[in-house]
Amino acid sequence: MTHTVYLDNAATTAMSDAAVKAMTPCFQGIYGNPSSLHGIGQRAREELERAREAVAACIGASAREIYFTSGGSEADNQAIRSAARLGAAKGKKHIISTNFEHHAVLHTLKRLESEGFEVTYLPVDPDGLITPAQVEEAIRPDTALVTVMYANNEVGTILPVREIGAVCRAAKVIFHTDAVQAVGHIPVDVEADNVDMLSLSAHKFRGPKGAGALYCRKNVALATFIEGGAQERGKRAGTENLAGACGTAAALSEAVAHIYENMAGEKLLRDRLIAGLSKIPHSKLNGDAEKRLPGNVNMCFEGIEGESLLLLLDAKGICASSGSACTSGSLDPSHVLLALGLPHEVAHGSLRLSLGPDNTAEEIDYVIAEVTKTVEYLRSISPVWEELETGKRRHLI
Ligand SMILES: *Cc1c(COP(=O)(O)O)cnc(C)c1O
């Protein structure tokens, strides 16, 4: 393979031509301030509102329910903090979530716990799923918010959001979903899915980094995120990131227009990759095989370190990700893989490959061959593998 094989689309994506094309005029031609009354400003305002309408249409919302943000993390923070504040005003200080959310959600919840909120973290099952019944049982009279991700960023499982939304609606509890991995990849509709608040991020669907949106249903009173001017319906002050909004809208519109063909194409490659890598002895697919994002593969290989595998694959031009992202130098395995109940030593040997619409079957076959060779090599020099093979240590997978 003479070129780089990029299989880290869950981390970020290359921008689409449509997104670049939509953004470019914003830097020089449509440079006005959308708050200015003159023609150049009003031209920018029109583009901004057009982008808002396009994003809304892609998720079944109305334009006035879309607040542009700096991305998924900001949307998650603001949604959760807003709902917490609304709850607290009524003496409700209980929140329900899961134990495998993105850190933008988990760290916000930890902060709220230190401010006197109580959080129930529903445990996901070994396949990386929770049931609507778990949510129903956890709801209390003082529950202010349920926040459950639409699809997990590491193991790719798709959660029963629609049914969880119905449970929340019946109990009159606000329901937020971090849909950053879902929007633009699988069909999402805030009405059908019974969602009150939803976070999305442009760079996960071939839009620009540092741009995204929070959907907030009109009857939910959103708190002000940034004080200042009247931008974003007075909730988020500051001159708007017009290029970011236009790039978000263009990338999302294109992704949604091709969603079924992209899903079908990615699913074929995903299943080819899973079948190929599953032939490696003592390997395991993480996350449910069916209720799974079309582009996600996450596997564990016993007896190796995910980081070593990543580095060797990088040298062969394969860009992947390890589940055990060694954040701040610590070698803690991923909280997601631990939530699925994997033992530490197995969770350390994980690899996430996330596909995009441009990947080819030829690339997938190259990756299967190279991962297989590299895992064999790493095992051949691994003292742990030797212990496993000589029976000094018990195989866990
Ligand atoms: C990437 C991601 C985020 C954060 O989005 P940013 O735009 O990078 O801030 C939040 N949640 C999930 C599930 C993600 O995959």
pLDDT of the residue at 331: 66
Find, among 170, 169, 164, the residue nearest to 147 by Cα.
164
104 touches ligand 1 (CB under 6 Å): yes
Region 55-70: what's the mean pLDDT? 98
The tens digit of pLDDT for each residue in 262-298 reads: 999 999 999 999 999 999 999 999 999 999 999 999 9
In Å, how far are 77, 98, 151, 276 from 157, measured between CA atoms? 22, 13, 5, 20
251 CA distance to ligand 1 centroid (A)? 16
Give percent of the chain with pLDDT exceeding 70: 98
Region 156-185: what's the mean pLDDT? 98
348 close to 306: Cβ distance less than 8 angstroms: yes
The two structure tokens encoding residue 384: 């742990």
Instruction: Indicate the range of 128-132, 149-153, 172-176, 386-390 predicted with least confidence.
Output: 386-390
Known active-site residue 326: yes
For ligand 1, atom 14, which residue shows the shortest CA distance? 180
Region 50-65: what's the mean pLDDT? 98
Give me the amino acid identity at 278.
S
178 touches ligand 1 (CB under 6 Å): yes
Find, among 327, 385, 280, 267, the residue nearest to 102 by Cα.
327
48 touches ligand 1 (CB under 6 Å): no
Find, among 292, 318, 296, 291, the residue nearest to 372 by Cα.
318
| pTM attached to this predicted model | 0.97
207 touches ligand 1 (CB under 6 Å): no
pLDDT of the residue at 326: 45
pLDDT of the residue at 323: 65
- Cβ-Cβ contacts under 8 Å for 14 (sequence gap 6 or more): 6, 206, 356
149 touches ligand 1 (CB under 6 Å): yes
100 CA distance to ligand 1 centroid (A)? 13
Burial status of residue 38 (CB atoms within 10 A of its CB: 0-12, 13-18, 19 or more): exposed
**CA atoms of 150 and 132, how far apart (whole Å):** 13
Tell me: pLDDT of 1 over 80. Answer: no
Region 98-117: what's the mean pLDDT? 98
- Indicate the DSSP class of residue 228: S
The tens digit of pLDDT for each residue in 326-377 reads: 444 456 789 999 999 999 889 989 999 999 999 999 999 999 999 999 999 9
Find, among 158, 140, 156, the residue nearest to 148 by Cα.
158
104 CA distance to ligand 1 centroid (A)? 7
305 CA distance to ligand 1 centroid (A)? 25
